[in-house]
Amino acid sequence: MNRVLRGTVAATLLLAGALSTAACGGDDEAATPEAADSGATLTLWTRAATESVSKAYAAAYNATHKNQVQVTAYPNEEYPAKLASAAGAKALPDLFASDVVFAPQYASQGLWLDITDKFNALPVKDEVAPAHVRNGTWNKKNYAVPHTIDMSVMLYNKDLFTKAGLDPEKPPTSLTEFAAAARAVDKLGGDINGTYFGGNCGGCNVFTLWPSVWAAGGDVMNAEGTASTIDSKEMAEVFALYRKLYEEGVAAPASKDEAGPTWLGALQSGKIGIAPAPSAWLGIIEEKAAFKVGIAPISGINGGESTFVGGDSIGIGATSKHAAQAWDFLAWTLGDEAQVEVVAKGKGVPTRTDLASNKYSSADPRIVTINNLMGKGRTPYAKNFNATYNDPQSPWNTAFRGALFGDAQKSLGDGASALTASLKK
Amino acid sequence: MTRKISAAALAILFLFPLLWSAWASVRTPTGFGVENYRRLFTSDNGIRAEHVINSLTVCALTVGGTLLVATLGGYAFGRFQFPGKNVLFLLTLAILMVPYATILIALYVLLEWIGLQDSLLGLSMVLIMFQLPFSIFMMRNAFEAIPKELEESALIDGCTSFGALTRIMLHAVRPGLITVGLFAFLTSWSEFFAPLILLNSTGKFTVMLAVVNMRTASFGAIDYAALEAGVTFMAVPCLLLFLVLQRSYVRGFMSGALRG
Amino acid sequence: MTLLAPARPTVLPSAPPRRKRNKQWIGALYAAPTAFVVGMFFVVPLALVVWMSLHHWPLLGAPTLNVPDNYAGLGDDELLRTAVWFTLKYTVVVTVLLFALSFGLALMVQHRGRGVGLLRTAFFLPAAVGFASASLLFLGLLSDEIGPVNDLLAGDGYLSLTSGSPNTALGSAVVLVLWRFAGFNMLILLTGLQAIPLDVYEAARLDGATRWQIFRRITVPLMRPTIALVLTLMITGSLLAFDQFWILTRGGPDNSTTSLVMVIYREAFIELDLGSAAAISVVLLGVLIVFNAIQLGVLRRRSQ
């Protein structure tokens, strides 16, 4: 055998051997008791969508601490690949944030360090967004804390409401009323449409349709996130309602193809009456809009209120050598100063339920409404959330598109089994 | 006459996307302007000077490394017999048959192991590897096409093989060298996935990563205009190089290098 | 010319054995950098991938041997089945169209003439744009927002990429590939075309052959190695297609444009199942090796 080949085979076996033995990972947090603010440089990874908030946190922290946090942001779609590669090479950063719905998966894979004791020692632990905290939990241990909060609400165009003869200060309190309002606005004709949704975006309508199911007392999964119940009465009714709106032309025809990128643009155009959307868009839409925007909680068919508490979670990378310092940063982000001066001041939603009304939010009652929703909303918990619901190749995509545009009953039935199979992986 | 017209029409069709991209990049809601480029360079996740420097560094390393390895290797394959020659050649070609996604995690692990993680040098080594099938094939054929007499006369005059190589052969395979260098530059300049996975610090990011960041949004609008500005910005150096080196690389192809 | 046989014997029969051995060593020395790069950065990671395919390989934590579960599980994977079908279909479509187009372009620019150089440059210019860049370019070109294509083609319907029909999604990816690679393959075919001596054509014409007969009986057979090379590159490239689907169509609508490599990507980075991803990669690699070996064998036999 050629010498070159022999050499490479030997190197291969060596490498494989080294990797196998070195792959005994595990957390090693309390290696040396160092002072928490010892002047370490901490690397923080986040996704492009969350970049500005992470950087705001880091800037404020760096100004008042010896530790310095460096933020690196990656393109949203490729961020999971980046994390997986780094984990595979056992080279995770000191801190990394992720979409909260991925938190159970990352927690179960041990990508974050166990912070149960540290978290329970916090005086504010009960006021930290409970839905997020639950998502960062695996096998009764905590691995992540909330980083940003983004909730789904109904946004409506007050001017169009007035034109359609609806009271702009009295938004709908049930999904049925929402449909009626959408129909009224749609009657204005032209290129005005009653409502809009992401008909080709799994992540979007998980965010916007599920709260209606929760508000009606139903659910889309079992508590452990291992079985799907999308064929339940509540979910079927919600789909039927939106389906009808689409078939009547009340929902903009472009909704069918909406995969996410042009969703905001559609709402900014001022031609949509009322639609469920991320609460963070209130500010963005108002900035450029010539119309006034109103907020209402998402409700169930006959009433009730709920929301999808989305956003990002953050934890300490499992291979970090600066666990104590990283925790110092995390604990600081949950404190009053960070939540009020960084998040609330920047028009974000505080991750602390007791800070829903703060000196910045009280100026705008709509913000207070949004902030208070956090206590009423849920974050769905599932280890295999991404592959099951978010990813364009997910079974959820097939299921909801069938429910909205195809054979509804069959899609929901088949979907429930396909989803359950995926959740169990 | 009709053939000339259809040829011209085809040419326009081929040039259209690039022309459109340039046009779209200077279109603003109020007419024309450089506002998209300004956004491209100043927005939060836009292009910075360090990105350009990083890209140029990676390109220089990749082009230099590829030329070095491919020239020496091409000379070896084209002119010598040695044990393992065929196996090595086939292995090199096999690089074409492996998809990125497969090998990237393993490469990430490997770079970690030899201490080249999160480094432009490590990234360049990987890019050189991806260039080898095309480059070595090209250079091997280029060397094979040189008449034996040229080399023999140099050897008779007392040169070593290395001397013959540098003094005579290199000049004869110049078109091949230029072609190999050009393609090495093109791919390393516009690489996306490899830098994404193999680089960690923003300080080391390349221009392509910054441009793709323009595409991403959280359920929000893609900044298409800035995106096209980014695409145009990335394309311009390549187009210029292409046009300037045209004669050489066409000759490189023509010299029988890729006849099969 | 085959890929494996050396062009000329490099050693004179009467050379002393020591000189031959020296020459071999020198050759090996020149090949050493290549061997190093290929060995270190290709063979080693590839071996690791094969190794991984035999294990349940968690991101952190120790891998456990689970042969042959990763491979056996491939049969049940429905998304994989869809992707295989689609990738094969896509390969056939692209290879046929791209080959026809490249060959047509090559025929168009083979003779000297006014403006031929310009034509050649125009056709080849898309190769200057990186593939990821080209995909982003088309994303904008075909978008509703700023793209002109929709205004020209769609009328009142919506020519959307991730929705709309599977055929528009596939079509957009195919157009992208044709645009980007026709020029490159045209150049390769051109070299083959121009290597045919003119007097062969002359003789045929004197014998009264028509253009089509000349093409079929002379041009094509004499270009066989070039054609084989081009087809190999196209087929291999199509089987490994990823960027265009990832950026342009995201595998949609409804998984109709999900390619094999996308499934590998998804398996590795979303399902976080590195073992399965490695298994699919190994199988894909095996298929490609077999295919290329057959093609090489056919080529060698033909030219002998």
SS (H, E, C) A205-222: HHHHHHHHHHHCCCCCEC
Say whether pLDDT at A315 is over 90.
Answer: yes
What count of other Cβ atoms lies within 10 Å of the Cβ of residue C21? 10
CB contact (8 A) between residue A51 and residue B44: yes
Average pLDDT over residues A57-83: 91
Say what angle helices B224-244 and B2-25 make with each other, to 10 degrees: 130
Q: What is the residue type of B4?
A: K
Residue B259's pLDDT is 54
**Which candidate, A379, A373, A44, places its Cα nearest to that of A220?**
A379
Residue A285's pLDDT is 87
Q: How confident is the model at residue C304 (pLDDT cuts 50, 70, 90)?
A: low
Say whether pLDDT at A4 is over 80.
Answer: no
Query: A306: which residues sit within 8 A by CB, 6+ positions away?
Result: A211, A212, A214, A215, A297, A298, A299, A300, A376, A377, A378
Given CB atoms, is C252 within the 8 Å cutoff of chain A?
A: yes
CB contact (8 A) between residue A259 and residue C39: no
List the Cα angle B214/A295/A396 in 5-degree steps: 60
Q: Is the peptide bond before A392 cis (omega within 30 degrees of 0)?
A: no
Q: List pLDDT tens digits, range C41-64.
A: 999 999 999 999 999 988 888 889
Looking at CA atoms only, how far is residue B177 from chain C in angstroms? Answer: 16
Interface with B, mutate which of A8, A9, A47, A72 (most B CBs under 10 A): A72
Looking at CA atoms only, how far is residue C39 from chain A in angstroms? Answer: 6
Average pLDDT over residues A218-233: 91
Locate the chain A residue with the closest alpha carbon to C146.
Answer: A262
Q: Identify the burial level of B28 via C-beta atoms within 10 angstroms of its C-beta, where 0-12 means exposed, 13-18 middle and 19 or more buried.
A: exposed
Q: List pLDDT tens digits, range A369-414.
A: 888 888 888 999 999 998 899 888 889 988 999 999 999 899 999 9
**Which candidate, A228, B80, A160, places its Cα nearest to that of C30?**
B80
Total-model pTM: 0.84
Percentage of chain C surpassing pLDDT 90? 36
Q: How many helices (H) and strands (E) does chain C have?
A: 15, 2
Q: List pLDDT tens digits, range C232-283.
A: 899 999 999 988 888 888 887 778 899 999 999 888 888 888 899 999 999 9
Give A-chain residues touching B201 at CB under 8 angstroms.
Answer: 43, 70, 72
Q: How confident is the model at residue A134 (pLDDT cuts 50, 70, 90)?
A: very high
Nearest to B11 among C40, C42, C122 (CB): C122
Give A-chain residues touching C250 at CB under 8 angstroms.
Answer: 259, 392
Looking at CA atoms only, how far is residue C256 from chain B in angstroms? Answer: 20
How many Å apart are CA C267 and CA C287, to the nearest integer? 19
- The alpha carbon of C198 is separated from its chain's Cα centroid by a whole number of angstroms, namely 31
Locate the chain C residue with the closest alpha carbon to A425.
Answer: C271
Locate the chain C residue with the closest alpha carbon to A391.
Answer: C270
Q: Is the peptide bond before A211 cis (omega within 30 degrees of 0)?
A: no
How many Å apart are CA A252 and CA A230, to the nearest integer? 25
Give A-chain residues touching C258 at CB under 8 angstroms.
Answer: 393
Q: Cβ(B121)–Cβ(C61) under 8 Å?
A: no
Give chain C's end-to-end CA distance (angstroms, integer): 10
**Which candidate, A84, A57, A79, places its Cα nearest to that of A68?**
A57
Q: What is the residue type of C9?
A: P
Q: Which of helix, strand or coil describes residue A292?
A: coil
Q: How confident is the model at residue C226 (pLDDT cuts 50, 70, 90)?
A: confident
Give B-chain residues touching C53 at CB under 8 angstroms.
Answer: none
CB contact (8 A) between residue A43 and residue B200: yes
**Which candidate, A114, A117, A76, places its Cα nearest to that of A97?**
A76
Average pLDDT over residues A278-291: 85
Nearest to A8 among C43, C51, C255 (CB): C43
- The alpha carbon of A373 is separated from its chain's Cα centroid by a whole number of angstroms, namely 15
Give C-chain residues touching B68 at CB under 8 angstroms.
Answer: 33
How many Å apart are CA A177 and CA C97, to the nearest integer? 54
Average pLDDT over residues B120-147: 91
Percentage of chain C surpassing pLDDT 70? 87
Q: List pLDDT tens digits, range B6-57.
A: 888 999 999 999 999 999 889 887 888 888 888 888 876 678 889 999 999 9
Residue C36's pLDDT is 95
